[in-house]
Amino acid sequence: MPLLRALLDGGLDDPEAVRIGDTAFSGPELLGAAAVVADEIAERDRPSAPVAVGATASAETVVAIVGCLLAGAPVVPVPPDAGPAERAHVLTDSGATTWFGEKPRDVTLTGRRVDLSRRAGHEVREATGEGPALILYTSGTTGSPKGVLLSAAAMATGLDGLADAWAWTDADTLAHGLPLFHVHGLVLGVFGALRIGSRLVHTGRPTPENYAAAVTEHGGSLLFGVPTVWSRVAAEPTAAAALSDARLLVSGSAPLPVPVFERLRDLTGQAPVERYGMSETMITLAVRADGERRPGWVGVPVEGVEARLRAVTEDESGEPVTTDEDVPADGESIGELQVRGACLFDGYLNRPDATADTWTDDGWFRTGDAAVVDAGGYHRIVGRRSVDLIKSGGYRIGAGEVETALLAYEGISEAAVVGEPDSDLGQRIVAHVVCPDGAVDAQAVIDFVGERLSKHKRPREVVVVDELPRNAMGKVQKARLRRS
E strand or H helix at 223, and its extent? strand 222-225
Enumerate the domain spans of the chain: 393-480
- 271 class by beta-carbon count within 10 Å (0-12 exposed, 13-18 middle, 19+ buried): middle
CA distance 103 to 99: 7
* pLDDT-above-70 percentage for the chain: 95
Radius of gyration of the chain (CA): 23
pLDDT digits (tens, 9 = 90+) for 137-153: 986 544 578 999 999 99
Ramachandran quadrant class, 269 (left: phi over 0; alpha: psi -120 to 50; beta: rest): left
> What's the rounded mean pLDDT across residues 47-65?
96
| E strand spans, 132-221 | 134-138, 146-150, 173-176, 199-202
pLDDT digits (tens, 9 = 90+) for 173-230: 999 999 999 999 999 999 999 999 999 999 999 999 999 999 999 999 999 998 889 9
CATH topology of domain 393-480: GMP Synthetase; Chain A, domain 3 (3.30.300)
End-to-end CA distance of the chain: 51
Give this prediction's pTM.
Answer: 0.84
CA distance 444 to 366: 39
Distances (CA, A) of 369 to 221, 262, 450: 31, 25, 25
User: Distance between alpha carbon 97 and the CA centroid of its chain, in Å?
Assistant: 27
CA distance 228 to 135: 26
DSSP state of 303: T
Q: Is residue 164 scored above 80 in pLDDT? A: yes
The amino acid that residue 439 corresponds to is A
Q: Rounded to the nearest 5°, which phi and psi values hold at 286?
A: -155, 145
DSSP state of 39: H
pLDDT of residue 81: 83
pLDDT of residue 396: 67
For β-strands 300-301 and 273-278, DSSP reports them as unpaired
CA distance 142 to 113: 35
> What's the rounded mean pLDDT across residues 86-105?
94
CA distance 160 to 134: 18
CA distance 32 to 117: 10
pLDDT digits (tens, 9 = 90+) for 347-402: 999 999 999 999 999 999 999 898 999 999 999 998 776 667 787 866 667 787 78
Length of the chain equals: 484
Q: Is residue 18 scored above 90 in pLDDT? A: yes
Helix residue spans in 327-409 (DSSP H):
352-357, 385-388, 399-407
Q: Coil, strand or helix: which one is 443?
A: helix
pLDDT digits (tens, 9 = 90+) for 70-81: 999 999 999 898
For β-strands 199-202 and 173-176, DSSP reports them as parallel
Alpha-carbon torsion, ordered 284, 265, 448, 227, to 10 deg? 50
Question: What is the maximum span of the chain, computed from C-alpha positions, in angstroms?
Answer: 73
pLDDT digits (tens, 9 = 90+) for 273-331: 999 999 999 999 999 999 999 998 999 999 999 999 999 886 665 567 788 899 999 99
pLDDT digits (tens, 9 = 90+) for 30-43: 999 999 999 999 99
Beta-carbon count within 10 A of 202 CB: 27
* pLDDT-above-90 percentage for the chain: 70
Count the alpha carbons within 13 Å of 127 in the hemisphere toward its beta carbon: 24
Mean confidence (pLDDT) of the chain: 91
DSSP state of 252: -
pLDDT of residue 139: 65
Q: Coil, strand or helix: which one is 206?
A: coil
Q: Coil, strand or helix: which one is 137?
A: strand
pLDDT digits (tens, 9 = 90+) for 392-443: 866 667 787 788 889 889 899 999 999 888 877 778 899 999 998 888 899 9
258-268 vs 399-407: helix axis angle to the nearest 10? Answer: 50
pLDDT of residue 141: 46
pLDDT of residue 395: 65
